[in-house]
C-alpha cells in the first residue's frame, strides 16, 4: 500500500499529505493529554514523591492527594523548555536541510525521550526525559504545519491545518480514555497504569516516520535551494489530478514562488533568529513585527484558559461537587466535545477568516469561564443546591472547551505558517512555537499553585484575559485568510503596525498594478522593500484564482 503513495496526484495527494501531517499532530495531542492521567496514577505520584493515595472504596478506587503541587507542575512544564529548544533547532534545520528530513530528526528525538520517560525511576530521570521528548515535539511543531501549509492551496490552507487539529484533540481523547481504562486494572496502583501510556506514543511516531519516506518535499523549499525541476514536478502532482508538471495552475504558482525567492535571497543577512527578532536588514518586510505577532498570539492562546481546562479539568469538576470517578468521566466527555468542536473550525476558518474567529471565540470563552467560576463559588456557599450549581459549572466548562476548539485552538497555529517569507518560514513558525512553549510552560507551572491558592477565581482571571485579547486582535492582527503566501510581504509592507493602515497600504499596492496578482521585486539600500510596485514586462493571469 505504501508504494502506491508515490503515484498519488492532485487532491488525493495533498489530502494524503494532510493526513500524514495529522498523524504527527495526533501524537502532539496525545503527548500533551497523557500527563493529565499520569498525574492521577498512585504509583507515579509515589515514585516521583508528589504526594500519597488513599483507597476510597470500589466505586472510587484509589484517589491521589498532591502535597507538592509545585513539583508536579515542574515535571509537566519542563517539557515546554524542551519544546522551546526543539523548535529553535527545528526551525534552523527545516530551512537548511528541508522539511522532511527535519521531521524525521524530530521523530527520533521523540522516540528516545518516550523510551526514557516510560522507564523513569525518579524525578531527576523523569525531568531529563521530559526535556528530550519536548525537544522532539518542538522539531515537529516548528516544521509539520509549515510543510502542510506549503503544499496546500491558499483557499484551503486554514481548513487543512484545522482538520489536523481535529486529530490533535483526538490524541487527547485517546490518551484520556486509555488512562481512564487502565485505572480499573488490578487495584489501580500498578506501574503499568502510567508507564504504558507514555510508551504508547512511540506507535504513531513510527507510523509517521514510515509514511514520510513516501511523501513529497515542500516545492517552495526545493525552489529556495535551487532544485527547481523537482519543485515543478511536485507542484504538477499537487495541483493536477493527472500529475502533469505543465499544468497551468502549477506553472503560475511556480512562477510566483520563483519571483519571491529571487528577491529574498538577496537579503540573507536577515535570516538568523537574532536578525528576525530585531528586524535587522528586513526593511519594509518588517520581519520583527511578524515575529512579535506570532509569539504573543501563542502566549495569549494559553492565557485564555485552555491549559487549565485540559490538564486540570478533573480538579475543576471535583470543585463543582462531583465525586472523583464522576469527575474523570466528565473530563473524558469534555475532551470528546473538544474534538468534535474542531470540525467547526474546518468549515469556518477560511470562510469567516482568522480575525472573526478570534473575536467571537474570546467573547464566548470569557463569558463561559467567568460563569463557571461564579457557579463554582455559589456551590461552595450554598451546598444545599449542589446539583444545580455543580451542573451549571460543568456546563460552562463544556461550553468553553467547545468554543475554544472551534476558534482559538487552530488559528494561532495557522497564523505563523502564513505570515513569514519563504526564506525564513520554518524559523518564523518556530517563533510561534517559542510563544506557545513560554505560555504553556508558565501556566502548567502556575496552574496547580493558582488552583490551590485562589481556587475558582483562577477561572475569572483567564476569563478576563479573553476580553483583553479582543482589542489586541482588532488593532494588530491583519486578516490572512484567502491570501496567498506570496502576498504576505505586501500585507506587512506598511510602516504602521495598525491593521487599518496595513490594509489601506496593501490595497494601494494591489491597485497600483491591478492585472498582476503578486509582485515582489523592490529593493532599497539596507533592506528589501515593497513600498511600490514595478510595472511588469508581461501580464500573467492567476489561473488558480480563476479556477
Extents of the domains making up the chain:
1-220, 236-264, 278-512
Q: What is the 3-state secondary structure (H, E, C) of 307-339?
A: HHHHHHHHHHHHHCCCCHHHHHHHHHHHHHHHH
Look at residue 513 in the predicted model and tell me its pLDDT.
56
Please determine, for residue 230, whether its predicted confidence score (pLDDT) is greater than 80. Answer: yes
Task: Assess whether pLDDT exceeds 90 at residue 479.
Answer: yes
pLDDT at 514: 54
**C-alpha dist (Å) from residue 89 to 206, 349, 471, 514:** 21, 30, 33, 41
- Alpha carbons 421 and 518: distance in angstroms, whole number: 13
C-alpha span between 450 and 442 (Å, rounded): 12
Element (H, E) at 292: helix 287-301
Q: Give the rounded distance of the alpha carbon of 166 from its chain centre.
A: 11
CA 436 – CA 138 distance, rounded (Å): 10
Mean per-residue pLDDT, 511-524: 47
CA distance 176 to 300: 25
pLDDT on residue 4: 64
* Lowest-confidence segment of 99-108, 195-204, 277-286 by average pLDDT: 277-286
In this prediction, residue 267 has a pLDDT band, given cuts at 50, 70 and 90, of: low
Who has greater pLDDT, 154 or 115? Answer: 115
What fold does the segment set 278-512 form as a domain? Growth Hormone; Chain: A; (1.20.1250)
Q: What pLDDT does residue 537 have? A: 36
Q: What band does 264 get if pLDDT is binned at 50, 70 and 90?
A: low
Q: How sure is the predictor about 534, in pLDDT bands with cuts at 50, 70 and 90?
A: very low
Q: What is the pLDDT of residues 324-348, one digit of tens each?
A: 778 878 888 988 999 999 999 989 9
Q: What percent of the chain has pLDDT over 70?
A: 89
Spatial separation of the C-alpha atoms in residues 82 and 178, rounded to whole Å:
25
Torsion angle (degrees, nearest 10) of CA 147, 142, 258, 485: 80
Mean pLDDT, range 494-519, rounded to an integer? 79
Quick one: which of 339, 334, 478 has its CA closest to 410? Answer: 339
pLDDT of residue 311: 60
Find out whether 433 and 138 touch, Cβ atoms under 8 Å.
yes
Instruction: Tell me the pLDDT tens digit for each residue of 1-50.
Output: 555 666 777 778 878 888 899 999 999 899 988 887 898 899 999 999 99
**pLDDT tens figures, 434-469:** 998 898 888 877 887 888 788 888 999 999 999 999
Per-residue pLDDT tens over the stretch 60-84: 778 788 888 888 888 988 999 999 9
More confident residue, 309 or 143: 143
The pLDDT score that the predictor gives to residue 525 is 37
Average pLDDT rounded to a whole number, residues 460-488 = 93
pTM of the predicted protein model: 0.81
Provide the H-helix boundaries in 97-213: 99-118, 123-151, 157-182, 192-200, 202-212
Query: What is 1-220's CATH number?
Result: 1.20.1250.20
Spatial separation of the C-alpha atoms in residues 122 and 128, rounded to whole Å: 10
**pLDDT value at 199 more than 90:** yes
Whole-angstrom CA distances from 269 to 8, 106, 228, 279 are: 38, 27, 23, 10
Percent of the chain at pLDDT exceeding 90? 46
Is 126:44 a contact under the CB 8 Å cutoff? Answer: no
Do the domains spanning 1-220 and 278-512 agree at the CATH topology level? yes
Mean pLDDT of 117-126: 95
pLDDT of residue 443: 83
Mean pLDDT, residues 508-522 taken together: 56
pLDDT of residue 544: 38
The stretch 351-363 carries a mean pLDDT of 95
Residue, of 438 and 185, whose pLDDT is higher: 438
**C-alpha radius of gyration, the chain, whole number:** 24
Instruction: Return the residue matching grid coordinates 530528526.
Output: 105
What average pLDDT is seen over the chain? 85
Q: Which has more pLDDT, 262 or 381?
A: 381
Distance CA 16, CA 394 (A): 38
Amino acid at each position: 500500500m505504501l508504494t502506491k503513495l508515490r503515484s498519488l496526484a492532485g487532491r488525493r495527494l495533498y489530502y494524503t499529505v494532510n493526513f500524514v501531517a495529522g498523524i504527527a499532530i495526533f501524537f502532539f495531542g496525545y503527548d500533551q493529554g497523557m500527563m493529565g492521567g499520569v498525574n492521577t496514577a498512585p504509583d507515579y505520584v509515589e515514585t516521583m514523591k508528589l504526594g500519597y493515595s488513599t483507597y476510597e472504596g470500589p466505586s472510587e478506587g484509589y484517589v491521589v492527594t498532591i502535597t507538592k503541587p509545585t513539583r508536579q507542575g515542574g515535571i509537566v512544564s519542563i517539557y515546554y523548555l524542551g519544546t522551546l529548544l526543539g523548535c529553535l533547532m527545528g526551525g534552523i534545520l527545516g530551512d537548511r536541510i528541508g522539511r522532511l528530513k527535519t521531521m524525521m530528526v524530530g521523530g527520533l528525538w521523540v522516540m528516545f525521550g518516550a523510551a526514557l520517560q516510560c522507564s523513569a525511576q525518579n524525578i531527576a530521570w523523569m525531568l531529563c526525559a521530559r526535556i528530550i521528548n519536548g525537544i522532539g515535539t518542538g522539531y515537529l511543531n516548528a516544521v509539520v504545519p509549515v510543510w502542510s501549509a506549503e503544499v496546500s492551496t491558499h483557499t484551503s490552507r486554514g481548513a487543512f491545518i484545522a482538520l489536523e487539529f481535529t486529530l490533535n484533540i483526538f490524541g487527547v481523547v485517546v490518551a484520556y480514555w486509555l488512562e481512564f481504562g487502565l485505572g480499573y486494572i488490578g487495584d489501580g496502583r500498578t506501574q503499568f497504569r502510567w508507564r504504558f501510556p507514555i510508551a504508547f506514543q512511540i506507535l504513531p511516531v513510527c507510523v509517521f516516520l514510515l509514511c514520510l519516506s513516501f511523501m513529497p518535499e515542500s516545492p517552495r523549499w526545493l525552489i529556495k535551494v535551487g532544485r527547481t525541476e523537482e519543485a515543478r514536478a511536485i507542484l504538477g502532482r499537487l495541483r493536477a489530478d493527472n500529475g502533469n508538471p505543465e499544468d497551468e495552475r502549477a506553472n503560475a504558482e511556480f512562477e510566483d514562488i520563483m519571483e519571491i525567492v529571487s528577491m529574498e535571497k538577496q537579503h540573507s543577512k536577515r535570516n538568523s533568529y537574532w536578525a528576525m527578532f530585531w528586524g535587522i536588514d528586513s526593511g519594509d518586510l518588517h520581519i520583527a513585527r511578524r515575529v512579535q505577532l506570532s509569539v504573543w498570539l501563542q502566549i495569549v492562546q494559553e492565557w485564555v484558559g485552555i491549559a487549565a481546562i485540559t490538564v486540570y479539568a478533573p480538579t475543576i469538576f471535583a470543585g463543582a461537587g462531583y465525586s472523583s470517578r464522576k469527575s474523570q468521566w466528565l473530563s473524558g466527555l469534555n475532551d470528546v466535545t473538544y474534538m468534535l468542536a474542531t470540525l467547526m473550525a474546518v468549515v469556518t476558518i477560511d470562510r469567516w477568516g482568522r480575525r472573526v474567529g478570534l473575536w467571537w471565540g474570546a467573547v464566548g470563552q470569557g463569558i463561559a469561564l467567568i460563569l463557571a467560576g461564579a457557579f463554582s463559588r455559589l456551590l461552595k456557599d450554598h451546598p444545599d443546591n449542589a446539583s444545580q450549581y455543580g451542573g451549571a459549572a460543568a456546563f460552562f466548562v463544556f461550553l468553553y472547551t467547545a468554543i475554544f476548539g472551534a476558534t482559538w485552538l487552530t488559528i494561532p497555529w495557522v497564523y505563523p505558517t502564513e505570515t513569514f517569507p519563504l526564506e525564513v518560514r520554518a524559523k518564523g513558525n518556530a517563533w510561534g512555537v517559542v510563544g506557545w512553549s513560554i505560555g504553556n510552560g508558565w501556566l502548567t507551572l502556575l496552574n496547580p499553585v493558582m488552583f490551590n491558592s485562589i481556587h475558582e477565581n483562577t477561572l475569572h482571571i483567564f476569563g478576563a484575559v479573553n476580553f483583553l485579547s479582543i482589542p489586541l486582535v482588532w488593532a494588530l492582527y491583519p486578516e490572512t485568510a484567502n491570501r496567498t503566501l506570496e502576498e504576505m510581504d505586501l500585507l506587512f509592507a506598511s510602516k504602521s503596525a495598525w491593521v487599518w493602515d496595513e490594509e489601506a497600504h496593501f490595497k494601494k499596492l494591489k491597485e497600483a498594478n491591478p492585472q498582476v496578482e503578486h509582485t515582489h521585486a523592490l529593493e532599497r539600500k539596507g533592506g528589501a522593500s515593497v513600498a511600490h510596485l514595478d510595472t511588469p514586462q508581461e501580464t500573467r493571469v492567476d489561473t488558480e484564482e480563476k479556477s
